[in-house]
């Protein structure tokens, strides 16, 4: 076997920019892996995340290190041992899924034993800003059924009230990206309960989330950064009622499916989330989205221009990928 492997870094402009508590971005920077066997090719995309020490350069280097194994037919199962969890392994794993599906003339969903995929409703993200600016952004998206609101710490009580006033009918979930602390936790939590927020994602820093063990939350709290690459669910159940599974953190669809099964057995609610990437990054996650309680795969909707072909969106309804894209 002599498979061919290519690695490319790409950049996609974000419409209007994207801001969370710890960073602002103008472009989604991704790495795409293509593995070819004769006339058949499989692709996978990942988004390096600085929060976990990743960059375009480190991810490309990791993939280059396993390229000799990929050329000789490294399997998805063997990949789990050959690479650590993280963005680099995700791109390779998803490329192998795509290659395997196209080689077999089946869908990745069939290979995973999931059968026919169905459309899902994705959240739409409102970046953090001043309350007035967030209200204006929300008003444009108020028709969407599920909004994900990025928060930043002190002042989030005013931000979430402003968002609710601009979207009185939408379901709201919020993501603090570790920005809360003891000075604002109670105030922000009370405001979220007041406006009917359904889920609060990672309110406290992962290193400080033991404080949640003694807290009886009126709202489901979801682990994101506390479920870091290569880390399982151990120690999370007494602090969180939900987990955010991201393929870039799990290190691919193979591990994400295992994590989904473990989360269900441990009675967690599940969100399938994403880093900010294109349709190629979202497509494998649609498989997890079939049974997730919350789907947050709006990355392509936030770009000035997605790759083509891309996923089909009808407002917030996300349709399964066509084989020309992935799987």
The token pair that represents 95 in the structure block: 């490329």
Phi, psi of 173 (to 5 degrees): -125, 150
CA distances (Å), origin 317, targets 45, 123, 164, 181, 301: 22, 9, 22, 35, 11
Based on the residue annotation, tell me whether 71 is a catalytic residue of this protein: no
Q: Cβ of 32: how many Cβ atoms within 10 Å?
A: 21
The Cα 299–Cα 32 span in angstroms is 16
Q: How far is CA 259 from CA 77, 249, 288, 291, in A?
A: 15, 11, 10, 13
The rounded distance, in Å, linking the Cα atoms of 265 and 230 is 19
Which of the following is catalytic: 102, 148, 239, 246? 246
Please list, in sequence order, all residues whose beta carbon lies within 8 angstroms of the beta carbon of residue 206, skipping any fewer than 6 positions away.
178, 225, 226, 228
- Residue of 137, 150, 239, 269 with catalytic role: 150
**Paired tokens of 56:** 């375009």
Query: 265 catalytic, yes or no?
Result: no
| H helices, E strands: number in the chain | 11, 14
Q: Count CB neighbours of 72 within 10 A.
A: 9
Q: Which residues are catalytic?
A: 150, 246
């Amino acid at each position: 076997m002599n498979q061919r492997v290519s690695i490319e870094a790409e950049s996609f402009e974000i419409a209007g920019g994207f801001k969370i508590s710890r960073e602002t971005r103008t472009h989604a920077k991704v790495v795409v892996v293509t593995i070819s066997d004769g006339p058949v090719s499989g692709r996978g995309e990942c988004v390096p995340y600085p929060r976990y020490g990743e960059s375009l350069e480190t991810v490309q280097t990791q993939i280059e290190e396993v390229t000799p194994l990929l050329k000789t037919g490294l399997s998805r199962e063997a990949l789990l041992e050959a690479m650590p969890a993280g963005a680099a392994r995700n791109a390779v794993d998803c490329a192998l899924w795509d290659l395997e599906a196209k080689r077999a003339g089946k869908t990745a969903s069939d290979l995973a034993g999931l059968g026919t995929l169905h459309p899902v409703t994705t959240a739409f993200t409102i970046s953090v800003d001043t309350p007035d600016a967030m209200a204006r952004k929300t008003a444009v998206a108020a028709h969407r059924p599920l909004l994900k609101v990025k928060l930043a710490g002190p002042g989030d009580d005013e931000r979430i009230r402003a968002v609710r006033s601009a979207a009185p009918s939408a379901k709201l979930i919020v993501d603090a990206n570790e920005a809360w602390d003891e000075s604002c936790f109670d105030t922000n939590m009370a405001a979220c309960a007041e406006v009917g927020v359904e889920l609060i994602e990672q309110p406290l820093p992962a290193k400080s989330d033991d404080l949640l063990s003694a807290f009886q939350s009126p709202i489901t709290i979801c682990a994101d950064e506390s479920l870091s690459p290569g880390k399982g669910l151990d120690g999370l159940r007494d602090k969180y009622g939900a987990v955010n599974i991201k393929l870039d953190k799990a290190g691919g669809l193979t591990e994400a499916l295992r994590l989904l099964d473990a989360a269900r057995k441990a009675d967690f609610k599940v969100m399938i989330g994403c880093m900010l990437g294109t349709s190629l990054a979202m497509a494998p996650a649609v498989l997890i989205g079939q049974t997730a309680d919350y789907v947050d795969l709006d990355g392509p909707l936030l770009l000035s221009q997605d790759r083509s072909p891309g996923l089909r969106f009808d407002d917030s309804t996300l349709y399964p990928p066509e084989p020309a894209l992935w799987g």
